[in-house]
């Protein structure tokens, strides 16, 4: 757990001062660069939640709402 | 440690909220959503395997599922968006059909194919290796989720709230939640917090033999379903000794799930951005599945069906094992609480104007003894300005839950037990591809909606315990003009 805390601290500390201006974000704003799963991935995520013990930490559903693991 | 984590996120939050506001004063406010958007999504899923949890860790896992969703996002004004997601999923499952495997026309009666070795029998019989035609062979899952979100005038703060409802034959769920997100550092950084609560309710259904035992007590072999039905021992001789004394019906049927999700995302360079997710999940109540059988190593075995097939009971070959079904010793028993901590990171890299690289990694831990690693890679390749091809690969590995053991290896003296291979140690490879069509000008129109996007996706999933699956997904998106 200490490693996780350290990683988060490092990530926040190192990167949050960086700044890319809006007019320089044409690459970042590309649809393929979205920091979320594609909407068409939702059904794959659903069957993975049923067939695997792990879930969550992907910005989406975090459990409950189904008789799954 | 929990306190340290909380302090850490409070500090991150303070840091985020103490950043200077955007240098640009808000003089023009762009609508969060220009017009209504409608997504139609559908998928077809098919799986097979040899470790049915309903049959105690052996048997067919054949399952097909057709699912579809309609997602409508409506701008209520410049700042607010209401999203409604309605879903329907219909499945047929060999595994769940064998909650009641004993019927005249099901697994052992109406089968096609090679019938050369069919043996005439008077009573009911079944097999874990084929679906029966029982009522539990199919079900429909329906769901509705409504989400309301509000963005601040400078678009640097967003809050949202959602409610959810879903229903199956034996399961109903009501959920609600909300979240906040704060953008800062010229919208290069974002921190978010989301909480959700699900209050779920089982309507437990039990394997036929255990249901009858619960209903009639120790004399159940002369009552109800068992009246006139012969029970066989391991040697194929008639027996009246079958008594699943470990079994008791569940007295509670609720399952509550609570989650808190923390997110941090960052634009690192003009071509790289990443996000970190950290979830805390807690579940309590009935976390077992009430129709998943368990067979104990220290209990005698009993069957219904044809004695000739008993020696081949665990053999998946259709001709050697289809005429007999083993009576359960109990259903799975799992603790009434579970605590899960998944941590994930997503990093995307814009390699050039044709290729991007999308990566994801997750570490998972829970207090049932499961640890898991998930990693995935997707490489979108722009074929033209409208078509994108994206091959993908995902690797998953998990350790077993401490309550898992295979068929006929648990002991009746244990407190918790399951033979559900979803909680076993395994690894899985998933590979696939997608093809996307995007028209940012929405030239094709239906009424006053323009076609913005079409997505097709295929994936193959292979687990090293013999389970495999294929899934095809289709999505189409329209935007109001």
pLDDT tens-digit series, residues B164-207: 999 998 899 999 999 999 999 999 999 999 999 999 999 999 99
pLDDT tens-digit series, residues B388-399: 999 999 999 999
Res. B44: pLDDT tops 60: yes
What does the pLDDT read at residue B447?
86
Q: Which residues of chain A lie closer than 8 angstroms to B200, CB-CB?
A: 64-65, 67
Beta-carbon separation of A64 and B278 below 8 A = no
Phi-psi region of A56 (alpha: psi -120 to 50; beta: other; left: phi over 0): left
Contact A30, B350 (CB under 8 A): yes
Which of B127-136, B301-310, B385-394 is most confident?
A: B385-394
Q: Which residues of B155-182 are buried (b: 16+ CB within 10 A; e: fewer)?
A: ebebebebebebebebbebbbebbbebb
Contact B56, B209 (CB under 8 A): no
Query: Once rounded to an integer, what is the mean pLDDT over residues B244-267?
Result: 94
Q: Please provide the DSSP assignment of B87-134 as one string.
A: EEEEEEEHHHHTTS---TTSTTTS--S--TT----SS----TTS---S
Q: Which residues of chain A lie closer than 8 angstroms to B255, CB-CB?
A: 64
B200 touching A (Cβ < 8 Å): yes
**Of the ranges B30-44, B100-114, B238-252, which one carries the lowest mean pLDDT score?**
B100-114
What does the pLDDT read at residue B323?
86
pLDDT tens-digit series, residues B70-108: 999 999 999 999 999 999 999 998 877 888 888 653 333
Query: Once rounded to an integer, what is the mean pLDDT over residues B357-380?
Result: 97
What is the chain B residue with the closest CA to A2?
A: B1
Closest by alpha carbon to B173, among B183, B158, B163? B163
Beta-carbon separation of B372 and A16 below 8 A = no
Q: What is the mean pLDDT of chain B?
A: 89
Beta-carbon separation of B467 and A66 below 8 A = no
What does the pLDDT read at residue A10?
61
User: Cα–Cα distance between B466 and B399 in angstroms, integer?
Assistant: 16
Residues 350-369 of B with CB under 8 A from A: 350, 356, 358, 360, 362, 364, 366, 368
A13 touching B (Cβ < 8 Å): no
What does the pLDDT read at residue B321?
62
Query: Once rounded to an integer, what is the mean pLDDT over residues B331-352?
Result: 96
Beta-carbon separation of B434 and A40 below 8 A = yes
Whole-complex ipTM: 0.86
Res. B430: pLDDT tops 80: yes
Q: Measured between CB atoms, which of B202, B268, B380 is closest to A18?
A: B268
The strand pairing partners of B177, in sequence order, are: B162, B196
| Sole residue written with tokens 């209401």 | B82
Q: Which two tokens stand for residue B27?
A: 């003089």
pTM equals 0.88
Query: Once rounded to an integer, what is the mean pLDDT over residues B462-472?
Result: 97
B340 touching A (Cβ < 8 Å): yes
Res. B37: pLDDT tops 90: yes
Instruction: Write the DSSP symbol of residue B439.
Output: -
What does the pLDDT read at residue A12?
57
Closest by alpha carbon to B101, among B277, B193, B236, B229? B229
Beta-carbon separation of B185 and A31 below 8 A = no
pLDDT band with cut points at 50, 70 and 90 for residue B473: very high
Percent of residues, chain B, with pLDDT higher than 90: 75
pLDDT tens-digit series, residues B138-157: 889 999 999 999 999 999 99
Beta-carbon separation of B380 and A32 below 8 A = yes
Q: Which residues of chain A lie closer than 8 angstroms to B356, CB-CB?
A: 30, 32-33
3 state DSSP class of A26: coil
**Of the ranges A9-23, B51-65, B374-388, which one carries the lowest mean pLDDT score?**
A9-23
Query: Once rounded to an integer, what is the mean pLDDT over residues B210-224?
Result: 92
Q: Which residues of chain B lie closer than 8 angstroms to A31, CB-CB?
A: 438
Q: Measured between CB atoms, which of A25, A53, A66 is closest to B370?
A: A53
Q: Measured between CB atoms, which of A20, A32, A63 is closest to B356?
A: A32
Q: Which residues of chain B lie closer than 8 angstroms to A23, CB-CB?
A: none
What does the pLDDT read at residue B132?
80
Beta-carbon separation of B266 and A15 below 8 A = yes
**Of the ranges A9-13, A25-29, B352-356, B366-370, which one carries the lowest mean pLDDT score?**
A9-13
pLDDT band with cut points at 50, 70 and 90 for residue B46: very high
Res. B400: pLDDT tops 90: yes
Q: Measured between CB atoms, which of A12, A41, A57 is closest to B343?
A: A57
Query: Once rounded to an integer, what is the mean pLDDT over residues B58-77?
Result: 95
pLDDT tens-digit series, residues B267-291: 999 999 999 999 999 999 999 999 9
What does the pLDDT read at residue B25?
55
């Amino acid at each position: 757990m200490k490693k996780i805390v350290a990683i988060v601290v490092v990530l926040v500390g190192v990167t949050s001062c960086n700044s890319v201006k809006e007019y320089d974000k044409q690459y970042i704003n590309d649809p393929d660069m979205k920091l979320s799963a594609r909407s068409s991935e939702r059904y794959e995520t659903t069957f993975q939640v049923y067939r695997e013990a792990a879930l969550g930490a992907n910005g989406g559903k975090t459990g409950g709402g189904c008789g799954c693991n | 440690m929990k306190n340290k984590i909380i302090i850490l996120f409070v500090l991150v939050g303070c840091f985020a909220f103490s950043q200077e506001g955007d240098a640009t004063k808000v003089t023009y406010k762009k609508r969060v959503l220009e017009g209504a958007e409608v997504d139609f999504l559908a998928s077809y899923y098919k799986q097979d395997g040899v470790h049915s949890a309903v049959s105690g860790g052996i048997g067919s896992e054949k399952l097909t599922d057709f699912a579809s969703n309609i997602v409508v996002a409506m701008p209520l004004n410049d700042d607010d968006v209401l999203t409604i997601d309605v879903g329907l999923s219909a499945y047929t499952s060999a595994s769940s059909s064998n909650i009641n495997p004993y019927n005249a026309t099901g697994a052992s009666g109406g089968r096609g194919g090679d019938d050369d070795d069919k043996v005439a029998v008077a009573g009911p019989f079944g097999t874990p290796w084929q679906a029966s035609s029982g009522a539990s062979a199919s079900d429909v899952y329906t769901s509705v989720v409504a989400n309301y979100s509000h963005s601040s005038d400078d678009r640097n703060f967003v809050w949202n709230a959602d409610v959810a409802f879903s229903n199956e034959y034996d399961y109903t769920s009501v959920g609600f939640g909300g979240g906040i997100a704060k953008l800062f550092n010229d919208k290069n950084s974002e921190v978010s917090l989301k909480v959700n609560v699900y209050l779920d309710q089982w309507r437990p259904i039990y394997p036929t033999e255990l249901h009858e035992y619960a209903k009639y007590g120790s004399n159940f072999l002369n009552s109800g379903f068992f009246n006139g039905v012969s029970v066989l021992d391991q040697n194929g001789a008639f027996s009246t000794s079958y008594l699943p004394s470990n079994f008791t019906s569940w007295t509670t049927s609720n399952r509550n799930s609570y989650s808190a999700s923390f997110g941090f995302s960052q634009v690192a360079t003009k071509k790289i951005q990443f996000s970190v997710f950290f979830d805390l999940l807690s579940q309590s109540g009935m976390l077992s599945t009430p129709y998943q059988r368990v067979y104990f190593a220290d209990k005698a075995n009993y069957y219904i069906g044809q004695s000739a097939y008993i020696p081949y009971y665990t053999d998946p070959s259709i001709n050697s094992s289809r005429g007999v079904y083993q009576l359960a010793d109990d259903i799975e028993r799992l603790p009434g609480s579970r605590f899960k901590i998944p941590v994930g990171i997503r990093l995307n890299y814009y390699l050039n104007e044709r290729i991007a690289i999308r990566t994801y990694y997750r570490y998972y831990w829970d207090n049932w003894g499961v640890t898991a690693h998930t990693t995935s890679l997707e490489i979108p390749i722009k074929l033209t300005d409208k078509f994108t091809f994206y091959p993908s690969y995902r690797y998953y590995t998990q350790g077993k839950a401490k309550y898992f053991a295979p068929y006929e290896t648990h002991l009746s003296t244990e407190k918790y037990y399951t033979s559900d291979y979803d909680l076993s140690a395994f690894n899985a490879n998933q590979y696939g591809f997608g093809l996307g069509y995007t028209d940012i000008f929405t030239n094709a129109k239906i009424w006053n909606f323009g076609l913005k996007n079409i997505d097709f996706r295929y994936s193959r999933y292979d687990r090293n315990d013999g389970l495999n699956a294929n899934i095809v997904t289709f999505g189409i998106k329209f935007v109001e003009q």
